[in-house]
Each structure stands twice: as C-alpha cells, then as structure tokens.
Amino acid sequence: MHSLPSPASVPLLVFSALFFAALCFCDPRANEVDLICSNRTTPLPDRRAFATSFAEAMDAVSPQINAQQYASAVGRAGNNTVYAFAECMEDLDRIDCDLCIARAKVQILRCSALQQGTRGGRLFYDGCYLRYDDYYFFNESLSPQDTTVCGTEDFGGNQTMFMNNVVELGRNLSLQAPINGGFSVGSVIRGNVSVYGLAQCWKLVNGSECQNCLNNTAVRIDSCPPKKEGRGLNAGCYFMYSTEKFYYNNTKPFQINEGERRLIILAAVSSTLALLLIIALAAFLIRMKLVRKTREKKQLGLLVDVVNNSKRNFSYELLEKATSYFHQSSKLGQGGSGSVYKGILPDGKPVAIKRLVFNTTQWVDHFFNEVNLISDIDHKNLVKLLGCSITGPESLLVYEYIPNLSLHDHLFAKKNIPPLSWETRCKIILGTAEGLAYLHEESNLRIIHRDIKLTNVLLDKDFTPKIADFGLARLFPEDATHISTGVAGTLYVTFPLSQFHLPLGSA
C-alpha cells in the first residue's frame, strides 16, 4: 500500500481495506454501567473454598461464551457452591463478546476483594453482563437490588415529544423482546426526535418472566427523561435507550451484506469512488488509533511513550489473535498466577502467553520496569521472558515457548511417553542447578525463585531443562499484593484491602 495503486488493484484494495477494518473494528461496549455487589454480608464459613469455587466457575465461563455467547457455570469446592452467569448483548459479534466478558471477569473481582464477606456481584456493561452468587439465581428475573441508571446530559429539543417517544419505545420493545427470543432493538423517530433502544432478557429467563422483567424496567425507565440516556438493570434483563444509535443492526457495521457488495462492484467500476472510500477508511482508522492512544494515555500517564516504543510491549490485540482469542485449544495449562496459552506471533514464532489473574493497572510503572529487568536475563537454563502487555483489559506476560512438556509430565503425569534415560536425567539435574545458581548468585538481579517444583522445570527439544516462573515475586509489589510460598509450594495471593485468599495452586 506504499505505492500508488494501479486501477486494476483498486477493487482488491477496497476489499482488503473493508476486510481489515472488519477485523480491527473492535468495540465491545465494555463501558461500565454499574457494579452491584451483593449486600448479603453474613460471614462466609470458608473463604478459601469459596474463592476456589469462584475461580472454578469463572474459568468455565469463557469456553461457553466462546461457543454460544452466554454461559452458566457452577464451581463446587468443599461445602461452597458458586454460580456464575454471563451473557453478551445479542447484536455483539463473537470477538467483541469475548473481549467484553474478559474485561468483566477481571473487574468483577472488585466485588469480592473490596467487601469482606461479599457473596456475589453483578456487573453490567453496555455490551455484556456477568454475575456470580452463592445461590441458584439463573431463573431469577427481579431482585431487590435492581436499579435504574440515567445519563447526565439533558435532551435539548422538545421534551414532551422526547418523553412520549421514550415511553412508546419502552412499551414496544418490552412487548417485542419476549416473543422474539428475548432480544429486540428498535427506534421511535417522531417529529424531530429520535430515540433508540435495546431490550434483552438473559437466556435462562423464560418468556413470561422476561415479559415481567421488561415491564418492570419499562416503567422505571420513564423516570429518566429528559436525560439523553437511560438504562434499567434487573436480575433477569437489561433495557437501554439513547438519543444515539448505539446498537449494531444485528450485524456489525462493515460486515459485507448484499447491499454493500453491490456498492463494492460499483466502486470497482468507478475508481474515483473507490479512492474516496480508501481515504475515508484511512481517516477512520487513524481516528480509531487516536481514540485508542488517548485511552492508553489516560491509563499509563507519563509511561505511555516508553511503553509504546519498547520492544518488550506487545499489544493486547496481537496476543489475542496469536492465541485465537484465548481459545481453549491453545491452552497449555494452569500456572501459579494464571492460565498459559500457546500463541503464534505474526512472524511465525511460537510463544507462551500467561494470562495474569490480576490487572496490573494500579502499579503499571513498577510492573513494566520489572518486566524490563527480568527480560534482560538470558541463560540457557532459564525460560526467557520476552515482554508483556499492559494496555489491554487483562495483563499478559509473553515467554519463549518450550516445546517438550515439564519434568512433572515426564516423570508422573503422562503415561504414553518413554521414560527419561539416566543420561538425560543427569543433564536435567545439572542444568537445573546451573539455572538456579545463575538466578541466585550470578545474575545482577539476584532473584530467589521460592517456588521450585517439577512443573516449573520445562524441557526443550533436546531435553535442556529450563526453569520457569522465576521473578514472579518481583513482579508483584509487597504493598499491593503479597505473594509467599505456602505449604507444598502452592501460591496464595492476598488481594489489597482485604484478607480474601485466592488459592492459585497449579494443577
């Protein structure tokens, strides 16, 4: 695309530009509308078991979301049961849906971490919904904590007309959605005034309960005008209106349907039109980039240029694509501080990507500095840290990919691989010792590993041992998150401001 396109290549360019735009046009509508923590605060009998159940349920959410855009999962550890439910708005596509839920899963931790004894939480985004609780709530449509959230700006035009339109939209959508599979979008455009709306019931709420739930939001939402936006947030449904068209018309913009395909053929005939399209698209893409830059700036402050110019920084989008959106099939395992995925970078290089349980936004500068220091460590018996991603919805670490399983797999877990020869075992013992000696004594950083175990010794193609997961203690500052080696090398992490323990022991 650097030289001027020849007329013959123009249609191709338009096509690829459209395709490209469709790939990176990501708006999961993951703006937070409300986080509602459960106010049932009787003490939990066993926080640790509860946290394990919670993690179990949350882990089961993503594969389901990926397959069907909603998820209902149960975690059972000890005497504690945790239920989790997640669903995307139906007009969102799969990629945006994954993104929205990924963000929600990180943010809902605020409900468990900040409020001692909290037994549940609901997080409403404009694009998706996530809830967990300690009782069976899947068929619940109304709850005492349901709420209405109105916008802040007043509508400027004829307010009587506006009010009438909002009321009519509420009535119509709440009647349509229950008979339309629980989802309906639409607009009322009368006089000078347009109002757009979306109504959705969660998948496990049946027709009559859906009707009941939306009637309830439709009545409450009437209190929002003259505000330009309003949302009704219930246990079983979601309703939103706005003066802007905020939903996708069931499909995404830039997806090529019949009408647009004709447009493309037209564009091919008239290359001037096509060129105009390209320019508009370029302007659009640059704008998208600027929007993303400002978002990053807000998050990273002074660090933004350093991070963006660093080869240690990987973009979230790139890593997401490298792992097929963290698809179950690319999952390598569950490590001490998050799950690990195999990814293929655009240049074909395989990497291992660790998805951290924590968001590092509160201590980004520390985190990034540490990643830089640890990335400098280069020793044949240590797994090399290549970099990280800190500007996306989740924090990720990128390691070199070690193909030949862990020592634990070879010695105990896998039955169908030949046993290691004594020669190889000797090599592994010496190599591991060399790696540890380097970490503890020879490197400038003097890292104490604190969690050496068989699963942390990985084997390369030629059975060279490589120690993984070192430096984790350095990555998490003492004041924010405390990591210590618990019994039998299992990691326990204390959330800030609470004593909520999340056992993160590897499998």
Does 39 bind ligand NAG (CB under 6 A)? Our answer is yes
Strands (E), 385-500: 385-389, 396-400, 457-459, 465-467, 482-485, 491-494
Stretch that binds ligand NAG, among 38-46, 109-117, 276-284, 320-328 (CB under 6 A): 38-46
CA distance 250 to 91: 5
Does 59 bind ligand NAG (CB under 6 A)? Our answer is no
Does 253 bind ligand NAG (CB under 6 A)? Our answer is no
Binding mask of the shown chain, residues 204 to 223, with x at each position contacting ligand NAG by CB under 6 A: --x-xx-xx--x--------
Residue 86 burial by Cβ neighbours in a 10 Å radius (0-12, 13-18, 19+)? buried
| 8 Å CB contact between 465 and 431 | yes
For 127-191, the DSSP string reads SEEEEEESS--TT----TT-EEEE-SSBP-S-HHHHHHHHHHHHHHHHHHHHHTTTEEEEEEEET
Judge whether 451 counts as a catalytic residue. yes
- The correct pick among 3, 152, 192, 444 for binding ligand NAG (CB under 6 A) is 192
> For residue 460, how far is the Cα from the chain centroid?
31
Amino acid at 28: P
- The correct pick among 21, 114, 150, 161 for binding ligand NAG (CB under 6 A) is 161
For ligand NAG, how many residues bind (rule: CB under 6 A)?
28
Closest CB 31 distance from ligand NAG, rounded Å: 23
Rg of the chain on CA atoms, in Å: 26
Does 294 bind ligand NAG (CB under 6 A)? Our answer is no
Question: What are the distances in angstroms from CA 302 to CA 299, 306, 307, 365, 375?
Answer: 9, 8, 10, 9, 22
Nearest to 18 by CA among 253, 249, 254, 251: 254
Binding mask of the shown chain, residues 103 to 142, with x at each position contacting ligand NAG by CB under 6 A: ---------------------------------x--xx--
Closest CB 148 distance from ligand NAG, rounded Å: 12
Closest CB 161 distance from ligand NAG, rounded Å: 4
Q: How many CA atoms lie within 13 A of 388 on its CB side?
A: 26
- The correct pick among 115, 158, 369, 464 for binding ligand NAG (CB under 6 A) is 158
Q: Which of 13/195 has CB closer to ligand NAG?
A: 195
- Considering the candidates 98, 134, 146, 451, report the single residue annotated as catalytic: 451
CA distance 249 to 254: 11
Does 172 bind ligand NAG (CB under 6 A)? Our answer is yes
Closest CB 140 distance from ligand NAG, rounded Å: 6
Does 20 bind ligand NAG (CB under 6 A)? Our answer is no
Q: Which of 207/301 has CB closer to ligand NAG?
A: 207
Does 416 bind ligand NAG (CB under 6 A)? Our answer is no
- The correct pick among 78, 181, 350, 403 for binding ligand NAG (CB under 6 A) is 78
CA distance 450 to 10: 59
Q: Which of 258/347 has CB closer to ligand NAG?
A: 258
Question: What are the distances in angstroms from CA 85 to CA 109, 206, 325?
Answer: 15, 15, 20
Catalytic residues: 451
Binding interface with ligand NAG (CB under 6 A): 39-40, 46, 78-79, 136, 139-140, 144-145, 156-158, 160-161, 168, 171-172, 188, 191-192, 206, 208-209, 211-212, 215, 249
